[in-house]
A and B are shown apart, each in its own frame.
Chain A
Amino acid sequence: MTELVAYLISGIALGSSFALIGSGFVVVHRVTRVVNFAQGSVAIVGGMTSATLLDGLLPHGLGEIAAVLLCGVVGLVIGLLAIGRRGTPPLISLIVTLGASMLVSAAIIWLWGQDPVAPPGLGGSVTILGAEVERQRLLVVVATGVAFAALALFFSRSYLGKGLTASASNPFAARMVGIDVRKMGLLAFGLAGILGGLAGVLIAPSNPLSFYSDLPLVLSGFAAAVFGGLTSPLRTLFGGLCLGVAGQLTAGYLNGSYQTEMALLLMLVIMIIRSRAFVQEEVK
């Protein structure tokens, strides 16, 4: 029982980071129809940067925030590369994001080396239903909840959020009412960078990151986003949590090295089940 509780909570924490990365996919895809595969590398940049900044440069809190903001800038630059040129087809932009992801990976190796890096997190642990839980994992869950609530408010309340929603809903009509759809796309890339960076900063203290972490992170995040049909942040959150919990249960009761395969398998199953929904999306 305590084992199960521990797996569930660490699964939810890990799933939260997948959900954050996945919501980055969703935000960009909704507005630009581009799948941004650089999303995982941005998360790693976030984790690495916070480790460097917290190593004597900035206090806790500031260091993490600075790392997340830097990821927003990185996301924006990737956006400029991918959709900066007017009229770039989404598939070409997708390839550009893949290339950007490799560039970022190279930069990570150059700046931080190949070994996993873990920034200091919240120390200590608490006992929940008999299970020892690191406080950092609880922080991940809480921060993700706050991030999703802020995202929902941003989309429904602010002008920029409405502009993004309108651009996603009908780009042609959005231009007609004076919305610069390309600028909205760049904004989405920046926002995705912030979400990815947040995921990296939060997860790195308990799951050390290296450039190798890119693929597992991007696949899991993408699987979560696919669960949300690449359009719904809320269903992405749910998908991410399911994926995290399933992965931790697999790791705990079967074998830890199956986690990524688990994500891939779930993604395939979801894509096959929901393929009709995707086709309808395309037709619209």
Chain B
Amino acid sequence: MLTIDRVSRRFGGVYANQDVTLTVAEGELRGIIGPNGAGKSTLFNLIAGHIRAESGTISLAGRRIDRLPAHARARRGVGIVFQGARVFPGMSLLANVMVGAHAHTRAGVVAAALRPPSQRREERAIRAQAEDCLSRVGLLDWASRPAEGLPLGQQRRLQVARALAGLPRVLLLDEPASGLRAAERQELAELIGELRRDGTTILLVEHDVGLVTSLAERITVLDLGRVIADGTPSEVTSDPAVIKAYLGTGDTHAADR
């Protein structure tokens, strides 16, 4: 589904990503871990389209997306959940999610202007779909509340609902557990597990090794911009190179957490 082939990107002459190659199969939940500075965020931003790769290709469902701007990638099916609070303040939860759905289904400006009855039907369908997405993340009861002032955990769930409304081919989660309390973290893990069972293809970039090993079926480990291991959770956590990478940066307990 998502193929990243020998992608490299330097910042000030230093490789943040060097020849990174990985393939995420349809319906797979792939975890990306690595110590601080391993290049996880760079890889995420390269896929999302905030930065461009210097070499290598990124393809989604067989079509290259690495030359497209971020919004066009979103339309092609890259659904994104950021760690920051990236909701639309001043809009209700439902409106937030509906924007996500609209961007995907819009037939065209002229058509929308000329055919009000069909647009109204589309509007109803989008509303129903948005409500469905809110209920999947457990926020339907809050649908009419404004998005600002939501606790961080719920803001992140709202982002998940908004991304789902765009019918993503692959859902990118950037450090979804960062800053969450233990209970919120547990809820999030359950939500990701459910999405996985529904067949959503997920790329989970996460600092919390424990969360990733409990959810992902395959894990790619980055260190200093390179892929140093790729395999099942038990394979990578027992890989000497991985243990050395975590020990080497002083993060002594991360690998066996």
Taking beta carbons and an 8 Å cutoff, which residues of A are in contact with B?
158-160, 162-163, 165-166, 169-170, 172-181
CA distance A198 to B252 in the complex (A): 68
Q: Which of A170, A175, A178 contacts B166 (CB 8 A)?
A: A178
Contact A160 B71 (CB under 8 A): no
Contact B112 A178 (CB under 8 A): no
User: Which residues of A sit under 8 angstroms from B166, Cβ to Cβ?
Assistant: 177-178
B246 at the interface (CB under 8 A from A): no
User: Which residues of B sit under 8 angstroms from A158, Cβ to Cβ?
Assistant: 112
Q: Which of B70, B72, B74, B99 contacts A163 (CB 8 A)?
A: B99
Which residue of chain A lies nearest to B147 when distances are taken between CB atoms in the complex?
A169
Q: Which of B48, B95, B98 contacts A176 (CB 8 A)?
A: B48
CA distance A179 to B100 in the complex (A): 9
- Contact A170-B109, Cβ < 8 Å, known A165-B91, A177-B103: no
Contact B100 A177 (CB under 8 A): yes
Q: Mark B79-107, 1 if CB is under 8 A from A, else 0.
A: 01010001111110001001110111010
Contact A178 B104 (CB under 8 A): yes
CA distance A158 to B162 in the complex (A): 18
User: Which residues of B sit under 8 angstroms from A181, Cβ to Cβ?
Assistant: 71
User: Which residues of B sit under 8 angstroms from A174, Cβ to Cβ?
Assistant: 71, 88, 99
Contact B86 A163 (CB under 8 A): no
Contact B71 A159 (CB under 8 A): no
Which residue of chain A lies nearest to B98 when distances are taken between CB atoms in the complex?
A162
A194 → B minimal CB distance (Å): 14
Category for how many chain B residues contact A: 20 to 34
Contact A170 B71 (CB under 8 A): no
B75 at the interface (CB under 8 A from A): yes
Contact B75 A178 (CB under 8 A): yes
Contact B99 A176 (CB under 8 A): no
B99 → A minimal CB distance (Å): 5
Contact A177 B162 (CB under 8 A): yes
Contact A159 B87 (CB under 8 A): no
User: Which residues of B sit under 8 angstroms from A166, Cβ to Cβ?
Assistant: 88, 91, 99
Contact A170 B102 (CB under 8 A): no
A181 → B minimal CB distance (Å): 7
Question: Could you list 5 examples of A-B contacts with CB < 8 Å?
Answer: A158-B112, A160-B112, A162-B99, A169-B88, A176-B48
- Contact A175-B86, Cβ < 8 Å, known A162-B98, A165-B91, A166-B99: no
- Contact A175-B71, Cβ < 8 Å, known A160-B109, A166-B99: yes
Which residue of chain A lies nearest to B165 when distances are taken between CB atoms in the complex?
A177
CA distance A169 to B162 in the complex (A): 15
Which residue of chain A lies nearest to B74 when distances are taken between CB atoms in the complex?
A178
B41 → A minimal CB distance (Å): 15
CA distance A176 to B86 in the complex (A): 9
Which residue of chain B lies nearest to A284 when distances are taken between CB atoms in the complex?
B89
User: Which residues of A sit under 8 angstroms from B112, Cβ to Cβ?
Assistant: 158-160
CA distance A237 to B18 in the complex (A): 55
Which residue of chain A lies nearest to B106 when distances are taken between CB atoms in the complex?
A159
CA distance A160 to B100 in the complex (A): 13
Contact A173 B88 (CB under 8 A): yes
User: Which residues of A sit under 8 angstroms from B102, Cβ to Cβ?
Assistant: 159, 162-163
B164 → A minimal CB distance (Å): 11
- Contact A169-B90, Cβ < 8 Å, known A159-B102, A178-B166, A179-B99: yes
User: Which residues of A sit under 8 angstroms from B99, Cβ to Cβ?
Assistant: 162-163, 166, 174, 177, 179
User: Which residues of A sit under 8 angstroms from B87, Cβ to Cβ?
Assistant: 170, 173
A235 → B minimal CB distance (Å): 15
- Contact A180-B71, Cβ < 8 Å, known A158-B112, A159-B106, A162-B98: yes
- Contact A178-B91, Cβ < 8 Å, known A159-B112, A162-B99, A173-B86: no
Contact B95 A162 (CB under 8 A): yes
User: Which residues of B sit under 8 angstroms from A180, Cβ to Cβ?
Assistant: 69, 71-72
